[in-house]
């Protein structure tokens, strides 16, 4: 069977604020043909209505997919489906802002969506956070690329438009997927591992998706697993995650992934990684983004943050045509994050502080 669990939980940083709300949203639907569609969104902390933008984007994407998916699995067709679904989500947030007399940037949110049939997966993504896949061979890979801005508290929102949206498909057979917003994703894929051969912190994410460890085989098992996962992320073991926490796991219980050699599960040498990171910063003069593997030609890393009040690019109309000849690329500011895990806490915060100081030099 294809089973899933899902969780979106308010972070302590928002709990501490008067009237604080969870700005994440997530949902999963099982299509009539048995495929699973899922979406997660993380409303930007600087956006006044970001929780509503996130919820609207998730609902719009899944609603469109549910009403328009093809009978047969065809990768290119499904990627096209997700492209149009992202436009629908963009149109929905734009209409919501107009209806309420708000700026469209007040509804800024990231968005990640996936379609899965038990073997194949296609996805759409904009912003930080992302998707980790587990193959039947027991190998972990990151399907998406986190879009960070010039600072670690910036990312690209859905409003950045098609030039910032990315779509693709898993290269190998997939037996499990985990989707996460950045509060959890930044632990599962810590930037100290970004330039290593394995950017995934396997020992951290494995219990959330490998049925050799996570014993699930029925709907009741998934309900129990969801309750345990919610308890874990609400416990002191996850107190370093102050941001909102969203995780969605989708698992094919009929495929047990291979167990890799013990060396595959060895704990990373955090001390050595931290030294290499400092060397790149101080000896080679790399920037924070270059050192953490987040640099590149992606527009969200070089363009300025769009200001509310300035004219925003318009979404495509229903015929797929833009209402503007030029669509400026934008990024949205996020609230500062404070993430980590017991094993990473000391090194993570020490290295991050040094990196930020280096960037200011």
Q: Are 101 and 159 in contact (CB under 8 A)?
A: no
Report the number of distinct structural domains present in the chain. Answer: 1
- Report the pLDDT value the prediction gives residue 44, as an integer from 0 to 100: 86
Give the model confidence (pLDDT) of 289-315 as tens digits: 454 554 433 333 223 244 554 444 455
Q: Are 118 and 252 in contact (CB under 8 A)?
A: yes
Taking the whole predicted model, whether its pTM rises above 0.85 is answered as no
Q: Which residues, including other chains, have CB under 8 Å from residue 136's CB and lie 6 or more apart? A: 172, 173, 174, 175, 255, 257, 258
Domain of 257, in residue numbers: 2-360
Q: Which two tokens stand for residue 352?
A: 């991050």
Provide the Cα torsion 53, 55, 61, 65; round to 10°: -160
- Report the pLDDT value the prediction gives residue 154, as an integer from 0 to 100: 73
- CATH number, position 68: 3.60.40.10
Question: In which band, very low, low, confident or very high, does the pLDDT at 34 lie, cut at 50, 70 and 90?
Answer: very high
- Report the pLDDT value the prediction gives residue 148, as an integer from 0 to 100: 73
- Report the pLDDT value the prediction gives residue 14, as an integer from 0 to 100: 67
Mean per-residue pLDDT, 71-76: 96
Name the least confident of 213-222, 223-232, 316-325. Answer: 316-325
């Amino acid at each position: 069977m294809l089973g899933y669990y899902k969780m979106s939980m308010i972070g302590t940083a928002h709990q501490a604020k008067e009237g604080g709300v969870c700005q994440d949203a997530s949902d999963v639907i099982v299509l009539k043909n048995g495929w699973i569609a899922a979406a997660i969104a993380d409303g930007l902390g600087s956006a006044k209505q970001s929780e509503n933008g996130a919820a609207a984007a998730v609902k719009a994407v899944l609603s469109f997919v549910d009403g328009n998916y093809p009978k047969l699995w065809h990768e290119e067709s499904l990627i096209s489906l997700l492209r149009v679904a992202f436009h629908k989500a963009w149109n929905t947030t734009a209409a919501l802002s107009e209806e309420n007399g708000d700026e469209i940037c007040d509804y800024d949110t990231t968005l990640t969506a996936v379609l899965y049939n038990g073997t194949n997966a296609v996805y759409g993504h904009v912003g930080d956070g992302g998707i980790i896949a587990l193959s039947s061979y027991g190998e972990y890979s990151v399907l998406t690329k986190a879009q960070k801005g010039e600072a670690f508290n910036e990312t690209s929102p859905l409003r950045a438009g098609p030039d910032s949206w990315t779509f693709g498909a898993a290269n190998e057979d997939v037996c499990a997927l985990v989707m996460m917003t950045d509060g959890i994703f930044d632990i599962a894929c810590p930037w100290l591992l970004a330039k290593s051969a394995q950017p995934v912190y396997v020992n951290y994410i494995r219990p959330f998706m490998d049925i050799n460890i996570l014993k699930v085989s029925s709907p009741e098992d998934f309900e129990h697993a969801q309750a345990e996962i919610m308890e874990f992320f609400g416990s002191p073991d996850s107190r370093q995650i102050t941001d909102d926490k969203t995780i969605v796991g989708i698992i094919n219980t009929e495929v047990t992934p291979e167990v890799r050699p013990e060396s595959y599960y060895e704990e990373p040498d955090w001390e050595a990684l931290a030294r290499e990171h400092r060397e790149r910063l101080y000896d080679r003069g790399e920037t924070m983004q270059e050192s953490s593997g987040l640099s590149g030609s992606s527009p969200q890393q070089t363009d300025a943050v769009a200001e509310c009040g300035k004219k925003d690019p318009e979404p495509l109309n229903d015929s797929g045509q833009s209402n503007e000849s030029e669509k400026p690329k934008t990024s949205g500011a996020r609230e500062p994050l404070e993430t980590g895990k017991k094993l990473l806490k000391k090194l993570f915060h020490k290295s991050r502080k040094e990196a930020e100081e280096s960037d200011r030099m």
